[in-house]
Structure 1
């Protein structure tokens, strides 16, 4: 039985002219070859299946052709071209960076670069999926990529250019491949169908092109699968069946049910779709694309963006004129949200049905009103919103004299209300101010609130808090005197001694005090240990001193002398301890030499 070769390999382009959809790149490469202006490193980047590796192989074949054609193409007749077509060329080396991404693989490649080609002019190194190389491999490749020998040309191919280091990008001539358009894909598939004697419908090829999303390799693979499924006859219906794509007639029927607000019909139609084996996410995604095409079809300028099979444009245009743009835009929002949350839903069918219910009542939800020639959504609230107020007791402080303030206390009682009285509404006009009313005490009728009497701030506070709290006037701080400070200091030390904290008590006795300013004094001690002992008592000590001097800003600093720390000898190392012992006892060193001991210091 003859070995079957898939169309993606069988019809792989062998010359620049046969490359589909990359005219801007093939023309540049041919001109560079004709003018002998080849760069030493190329970077081909773009989506999958658009011809990056194919163009790299054609370039490698063309630059080594012995009989280069005037248009910059290879002759396909010389020994170099034949060896390339047979896969036996020694001047072309391909490296799959996805599986050979270590430093050792790149070093092996760099070692091969040192040897000149035995036949031909150039040695071409094609590194596919170069973004998979490790960072260390990239660094090992930099120098060779920047200054290769005159006979070496590197062609790097990747689908993710953003993952490459800037140092790699700056050393390469970059070519960006674009997705292949649907029209180019359909034309190429038609040519292959003629060569393979396959009966195809153009509508079926357009569906295949849409499904491939600009990837020629995927389009050819899909065609091979459908040909095997249909035994050589590719139609629109069996293509939809094989690709698990819902027919657009279902979407038109569903739209008719939604616009007529026929919820039962829409639910039954979705049930029929579900019974055919179509998952909910396919329905949501397909219907969203259908609504998008309707939105595009409403504007004649955007007709080029209408991505539908041939013969369906007129039906889309006619249907789009009957649907409002607001309905289509809101439908897209609902479908997009439903598709995003589809994976998280436990009941998938109910999730899709809820989206259909929202779409069914969408026209009722969008209640439109005309105002000043414009279109806007209907307001949901026309009147004031009721709110509840609480009692407010306001305090007013007026300046009377230097250092003195008097408090005006005024109670304002506002009853809790849930609506505005009709009489008050009548008094409020559009440009009318509300006259101040007399405020009455709660529960008392016919008596107005007495005018506030002038009193001191302290009396006002006492009257406000009552007798539950004791209000004291703030006392002026006492000056920081050395005698009083030393007495308090020694008293605190005696307190520590009574608590059997002997080390801390002795530290307080030997410490020296110095007043720096009215809010701070300094403590001089000898060691860091004494400093830590005082720090442990800082909070309690400050509290007592601040209470004594009536000064909450009072604080202190601690300074420890470093003389004692400098006087301490540094600890000896193991070697120094042994040498010191050997000086005191020479027999120890003699024993080490006679026994040839190797001491581990």
Structure 2
């Protein structure tokens, strides 16, 4: 029985044209070979499994080929190519820097460089995982790498370019390999399946390409495992089962349940997923990726970023049309936070279920608002509601049937508003009704609107019913001292001082004047405005009572104010009067602590 060779080795490219997804590298190398412009040192860097070592071997074989083609490819038939394919060529030396990273290993490599090739033009030295070399090994390699013999070519390969010394980078031609796209991976897998006579669905190959994340070696290894698992038939269902991936149909159904606020079905679906062995973080990450694809599908400009199977693209586009962008953006934020906090959660299942509950009621919470070209999230608040007025009690006037609404105390029993019958009539005040107390406030000469009339009427009625206390200087002084006591209870000494220094006077029954010295004192008085007005109104039983502040500037601002000198000023005055003190300080090299 023949020995099994994995696909990654069996179908390793032997020419530049068979390298997948790195045309920008292979084209440059072929042109350099044709024009005889080869550098003496190359650095191949990029992710794992994208063809760095493969391209290095193809380059080594091609430059030693005896019959190169016109486009710079190896013939694969000459003695050099045959010996190279058989692994018996003496012109290529590979060094694994991960296990041979000492100075002695590099010294032995440098000693081999001195010997010219017995056959062929070049001796090629491939150093894989070169970032694993120690600093001493790098330094021992510098001189040889900078000025090697004309027949020596060095090819360094690494996945972590940032770990290599700048002195090494400056001596090499750097080629950056990129990840292989999903479409290129699927096409390559289809070619291998045709050669191996394997029945494979394209959707299954697309799942393999997504799982490999741009690494061709990983995709080939996954394909070998699934072929062994399914006995030569790769389908979409068994690929999902083998790779432990959730079907996208689950996410489509879950999204429908959440959009319809069908929380029970959403939780039951998560329970089904959980019983199949999928962890909560897998569900959160998969659903976030799914919503990302929905968001990408909403705009034709970025639809090219949708990396899914062709069978699902149309379904994504249809779903994106009916899902609001506000929901998708907010759901992605919730899923991102849930994924970050998943490891810290003690009850993992409850953590995921709470996330589903938030997503279920998300439509009631948020919406997107276009504000001058920028899109922002806005909370949805309840619609405007009318103010709930209290039903007024009804009183009948004599036998005329006229019904009027009068303000009474809140403690009286209220009658239903449905019993009220309103007749618009100018009622005549009864002869015995008492006159309202006179007020010093003069009404405005201009005609008031309806709102001003209502406010004036309410103010007069409140004054009639409340029996406001007459303001006297003695009562005002007592009221002012009581408020100072309240400030003392609050432990506000700065305000207490300014309130004690203030003088209060009566302007009229509804206005009090507060005279203070300076703007600073005014700020302290104004800071207590709300509490002070409430205190004054409650004390004098007058809801219209207020106060005004008058700032009195001091007349003796020009007089000098005596103050105590600080230590620096005292020292300056001493040396002005006695200069020898300063000389004594400088001779003794004294330092003053101001």
TM over 0.5: yes
1:170 and 2:236 equivalent? no
Return closer, same or farther for 1:140/1:349 CA change in 2, 3 Å cut-off: same
Contact 1:369 1:378 in 2 (8 A): no
The offset of 1:447, in angstroms, is 10
Q: What is the aligned partner in structure 2 of residue 580 from structure 1?
A: none
Return closer, same or farther for 1:225/1:515 CA change in 2, 3 Å cut-off: same
CA distance in 1, matches of 2:372, 2:138: 65
Unpaired segments ≥5 residues, structure 1: 383-387, 396-405, 422-438, 462-470, 486-512, 525-530, 543-551, 554-601
Return closer, same or farther for 1:49/1:415 CA change in 2, 3 Å cut-off: same
The offset of 1:114, in angstroms, is 0.8
Aligned match of 1:521 in 568, 573, 585?
585
The offset of 1:343, in angstroms, is 2.0
Report 1:336-415 matches (<5 A).
Answer: 336-367=336-367, 377-378=378-379, 392=495, 412=525, 415=528
CA distance in 1, matches of 2:268, 2:532: 49
CA distance in 2, matches of 1:203, 1:420: 77
The offset of 1:516, in angstroms, is 2.8
The offset of 1:453, in angstroms, is 9.1
For these two proteins, the number of residue pairs brought into alignment is: 459
Q: What is the aligned partner in structure 2 of residue 252 from structure 1?
A: 252
User: Per-residue CA shift, 1:278-326, capped at 9, x if unaligned?
Assistant: 1111111111111111111112232222111121111111111110111
CA distance in 2, matches of 1:338, 1:94: 47
Contact 2:364 2:380 in 1 (8 A): no
The offset of 1:131, in angstroms, is 1.4
1:280 and 2:280 equivalent? yes
Return closer, same or farther for 1:451/1:290 CA change in 2, 3 Å cut-off: closer
Q: What SS class does the counterpart of residue 581 from structure 2 fall into?
A: strand
Q: What is the aligned partner in structure 1 of residue 413 from structure 2?
A: none
CA distance in 2, matches of 1:281, 1:338: 9
Give the alignment's TM-score, normalised by structure 2: 0.69
Return closer, same or farther for 1:306/1:480 CA change in 2, 3 Å cut-off: closer
Contact 1:294 1:316 in 2 (8 A): yes
Q: What SS class does the counterpart of residue 412 from structure 1 fall into?
A: helix
Contact 1:204 1:235 in 2 (8 A): yes
Return closer, same or farther for 1:515/1:308 CA change in 2, 3 Å cut-off: same
Q: What is the aligned partner in structure 1 of residue 306 from structure 2?
A: 306
Q: What is the aligned partner in structure 2 of residue 184 from structure 1?
A: 184
1:110 and 2:174 equivalent? no
Contact 2:517 2:551 in 1 (8 A): no
Return closer, same or farther for 1:228/1:449 CA change in 2, 3 Å cut-off: closer
User: Per-residue CA shift, 1:248-273, capped at 9, x if unaligned?
Assistant: 11101100111001111111110110
Q: What is the aligned partner in structure 1 of residue 502 from structure 2?
A: none
User: Per-residue CA shift, 1:424-468, capped at 9, x if unaligned?
Assistant: xxxxxxxxxxxxxxx9799799999898695989x9x9xxxxxxx
Return closer, same or farther for 1:228/1:163 CA change in 2, 3 Å cut-off: same
Return closer, same or farther for 1:419/1:203 CA change in 2, 3 Å cut-off: farther
Q: What SS class does the counterpart of residue 521 from structure 1 fall into?
A: helix
Q: What SS class does the counterpart of residue 12 from structure 2 fall into?
A: coil
User: Per-residue CA shift, 1:312-361, capped at 9, x if unaligned?
Assistant: 11111111111011111111111122112222222221221121111111
1:133 and 2:125 equivalent? no
Report 1:201-240 matches (<5 A).
Answer: 201-240=201-240
Q: What is the aligned partner in structure 2 of residue 41 from structure 1?
A: 41
Q: What is the aligned partner in structure 2 of residue 23 from structure 1?
A: 23
CA distance in 1, matches of 2:580, 2:372: 83
Q: What is the aligned partner in structure 2 of residue 289 from structure 1?
A: 289
Return closer, same or farther for 1:270/1:419 CA change in 2, 3 Å cut-off: farther
Return closer, same or farther for 1:94/1:420 CA change in 2, 3 Å cut-off: farther
The Cα RMSD (Å) is 3.9
The offset of 1:2, in angstroms, is 2.8
CA distance in 2, matches of 1:446, 1:195: 97
The offset of 1:414, in angstroms, is 5.5
Contact 1:298 1:321 in 2 (8 A): yes
Contact 1:514 1:523 in 2 (8 A): no
User: Per-residue CA shift, 1:453-501, capped at 9, x if unaligned?
Assistant: 95989x9x9xxxxxxxxx98559948759xx99xxxxxxxxxxxxxxxx
Return closer, same or farther for 1:368/1:200 CA change in 2, 3 Å cut-off: closer
Unpaired segments ≥5 residues, structure 2: 385-486, 500-515
